[in-house]
Amino acid sequence: MTDAKKLTCLDCGAVNRVPSDKMTASPKCGVCGGKLADGRVAELDPKVLSKAEGNDQVPIVVDFWAPWCGPCRMMAPEFAKAAQSLRGQVRFAKINTEDYPAVSQRHGIRGIPLMIVFRNGREVARQAGAMQAAQIEAFLRDKTGVSA
C-alpha cells in the first residue's frame, strides 16, 4: 500500500489524502478540483490557515505580510521562485496581516515579513525578514529536511 499524506486544499479547505509518490504529479482536490501541490503561492484566510496548519503532513510555509510593507513586497517574487523550486515537497501560502490582524495576535507576530513553517499540526520553524529565493530554499531544507 502506498504511503499517503494529508493535505488541506488551500482553495476550499477540504482535507485530502495524496499518495506520496503522486505529490509531484499535480494532485487535485477531491472536492473542488483545485491543485494541491502545484508550486504556486496561495492566498489564505484564517479558516483555511487553521485547517492547513493543523492537518497537513507536508510542510507548509506561510508568509505573513502586509501591502504597505516594502520588504514584504520585495520578498514576494523571491517567495514565488522558491515555491516553484520546492514544488511537491513544501507548499507555500501567504496571509495578509492587515486584513486578518487576529491571526497576527494568535501567532505572536511582532514584525513582518515573517515566514512560519507548519507540519503535522505544529509550528516547525519561523524566520523574520526579507530573504532571497536561495535563502528561503536553504532555510526550508534545513528546517524540514526536504531534498535539493
What is the set of active-site residues?
69, 72
Instruction: Tell me the three-class secondary structure of 77-122, residue by residue.
Output: HHHHHHHHHCCCCCEEEEEECCCCHHHHHHHCCCCCCEEEEEECCE
From CA 104, how far away is CA 86, in angstroms rounded?
A: 26
Q: Are 40 and 78 in contact (CB under 8 A)?
A: no
* Residue 117 grid coordinates: 513553517
From CA 49, how far away is CA 40, in angstroms rounded?
A: 16
